[in-house]
Amino acid sequence: MTLAGKYIHLVEDDDRIRNEIVQALESTGAVITASETFEQGLEALSAPFDLVILDLGLPDGDGLELCRYLRLDGREDPVIMLTARDATRDCVKGLDMGADDYMTKPFQMTELLARVRNVLRRSGRSVGMQKLEWNGIELDPEARVARRSGEPLNLTRREFDLLAFLLRYPRRVWTRENLLQRVWDNAEAGETRTVDLHVRRLRAKIEEDPRDPRLIATIWGVGYALQAPE
Ligand code: CA
């Protein structure tokens, strides 16, 4: 099974292991984002993923708590736990908490990838392909069609990707740097004003009154967020 277009989040504080996993998953075409701490993980996991890979031993918290948080919130994102501990007890606890699988460090990357594929196959999730809807805007990532009040929107590829990204995380505030990193794959080529330019063009197409935007709000001093109109 292909991992292309699967949204995966990794929480791992060990730089070497994190980089290795990110590289391995990126080479499969998965869309991978990573957190280094419990705090960052908690923030990142406010959005749904096709798969979450959780290190249990984090400097500022226990990865098991992140898994518990997801399940208490009614979330079904599949979870693979990573543990460096000789910790059968932790793994059992994690599985009880709703984790789908675990790996004990050190492990072979090929084995992790096999488990990732396995868990994804079982779950059949694909959040990146889910149709998105928000206040009259509809977007079908698979067909790459966007509509406003039923009328097709004529968006460029980048405008479409930017809108899809914002729709996946309604109300969440993104900095221009975040958006460059996530929507423009080549962050080094981008400048933050590129983001402003695209937001302006997108507003002209989706807002009723682009001079008084209600959907994509500017959060002064921070960036942009998709808002519900009052
Ligand atoms: Ca760790």
What is the rounded CA–CA span in Å between residue 41 and residue 35?
A: 5
Confidence of residue 48 (pLDDT cuts 50, 70, 90): confident
At 4, phi and psi to the nearest 5?
A: -55, 130
CA dihedral 121, 127, 130, 135 (to 10 degrees): 160
Report pLDDT digits (tens) over 174-200: 889 888 877 886 555 678 889 999 999
**55 Cα–ligand 1 center, Å:** 6
- Helix (H/G/I), strand (E/B), else coil: 148: strand
**49 Cα–ligand 1 center, Å:** 21
Q: Average the pLDDT over 17-45 and give the result.
A: 92
**56 Cα–ligand 1 center, Å:** 6
Report pLDDT digits (tens) over 72-115: 999 999 999 998 766 778 888 888 889 999 999 999 999 999 99
**54 Cα–ligand 1 center, Å:** 9
Q: Average the pLDDT over 124-152 and give the result.
A: 91
Domains and CATH numbers, the chain: 7-122 (3.40.50.2300), 132-226 (1.10.10.10)
Q: Are 51 and 120 in contact (CB under 8 A)?
A: yes
Beta strands of 143-230 (E only): which ranges? 145-148, 151-152, 173-175, 216-219, 223-226
Going by DSSP bridges, is the β-strand pair 137-140/132-134 parallel, antiparallel, or unpaired? antiparallel
